[in-house]
Amino acid sequence: MDPICHTLVGATLAETGLKRRTALGAATLIIGANLPDLDILTYVDSGVTALWFRRGVTHGLPAVVLLPLLLTGGMLAWDRLVRRRGRPPPVHVAPLQILLLAFIAVVTHPVLDFMNTYGMRWLMPFSDAWYYGDTLFIVDPWIWAVLVAGIYLARKRPSAPVRRFLRSPAAASLGALALYIAAMATSNVVARSLVTRSLLEAGYDSPARLMVAPRPVTPFRRWVVIQDGELYRFGTFHWFRRPQFDLEGYTYERHPSTPAAAVATRGPRVRKFLSWARFPYSIVEERTDRYLIHVGDARYTVDPEASWAAITVEVEK
């Protein structure tokens, strides 16, 4: 998910009362909710390196154990070297509570990241296998709205009826978020089944691989990518329309069997990209003295020259 979502999750956790367990509690929760995104520093090198490295070492299960320990050490160092300089503060830092809050916050990050089509590598650095939730779009304003409402109501003293109904507005917003995620996950499972049935009824074979992905803003439409042999097919699933599944009329060839394309896939940039790509495809463009090989990922783009989810390499004739 995006950094705004992770930050709001940390802030909402703080408003449930967790921030009162120790000094620096709120800061620990907000920093911890964003900490696995340390791997964003790989963008300093190149976009391909970032795709190859991200959602791995700093997001996997080993990181869930290590990062809370590092964050706890950092918060205790800040308390000793900065916060307690001069007059001692009235509220002390409890190391075990800081560790608990750091663990809770860090865990929320890979769990939420797993929910979108970008995916997660849970077992890095031991395995680079990708796992995909296909449940939430990476930027979801409905999640923002629910979390902001919880934070606002928790900080603003509500009226008596509201207090009786929502004893903890922040906890209620996290509960609403959990229900929303559960509903989106269930709808994805059902939509996959309906898409597969529609394809079989239309005379297609059962797809080798299938992605039914959330669209931005609306939870009632989904983007569909189908691997059909050496082709990709595309469509849109609608919950409240008939027919529910519309298959687009165009297809993309996965990998053209040309010598230039074969040479391109042996290059380091393309190998890094392919280690990340979920539905990779190649387009060979012939020029006077060279070939341009466009390599993209069909889950994000069918125009490799107008997307971040694609690269271009040159192969001389």
Q: Same structural domain for residues 112 and 205?
A: no
Evaluate whether 307 touches 300 at the Cβ level (below 8 Å): yes
Evaluate whether 45 touches 110 at the Cβ level (below 8 Å): no
Q: Same structural domain for residues 245 and 262?
A: no
Of 42-46, 171-175, 243-247, 250-254, the one with minimum mean pLDDT is 42-46
Last residue of a domain, one of 252, 268, 303: 252
Strand order in the sheet with 310-316: 280-286, 290-297, 310-316
Q: Same structural domain for residues 129 and 20?
A: yes
Is the dihedral angle over the CA atoms 252, 257, 260, 265 positive or is it negative?
positive
pLDDT tens-digit readout, 214-233: 999 999 999 999 998 889 99
> Is position 309 within any domain?
yes
> Is position 149 within any domain?
no
Q: What is the pLDDT of residue 166?
A: 64
Expressed as residue numbers, the domain containing 272 is: 254-316
Q: Same structural domain for residues 14 and 125?
A: yes
pLDDT tens-digit readout, 109-153: 999 999 999 999 999 989 999 999 999 999 999 999 999 999 998
Identity of the highest mean pLDDT range in 40-49, 94-103, 288-297: 94-103
> Is position 93 within any domain?
yes
Q: Same structural domain for residues 13 and 124?
A: yes
Is the dihedral angle over the CA atoms 107, 111, 113, 119 positive or is it negative?
positive
Rounded to the nearest integer, the mean pLDDT of the chain is 89
Give me the helix-helix angle, 169-201 and 3-15, nearest 10°.
140
Q: How far apart are CA 48 and CA 36, in angstroms?
A: 19
Q: Same structural domain for residues 103 and 9?
A: yes
pLDDT tens-digit readout, 272-282: 898 999 999 88
In the chain, how many domains are there?
Answer: 3
> Is position 197 within any domain?
yes
Q: Same structural domain for residues 239 and 282?
A: no
Q: What is the pLDDT of residue 164?
A: 56
Quick count: other Cβ atoms within 10 Å of Cβ 87? Answer: 6
pLDDT tens-digit readout, 185-200: 999 999 999 999 999 9
Evaluate whether 197 touches 203 at the Cβ level (below 8 Å): no
Last residue of a domain, one of 95, 115, 133: 133
In order, the DSSP letters of 177-191 are HHHHHHHHHHHHHHH
Kindly report the pTM of this predicted structure: 0.90
Q: Which helix (H) or strand (E) holds 208?
A: none
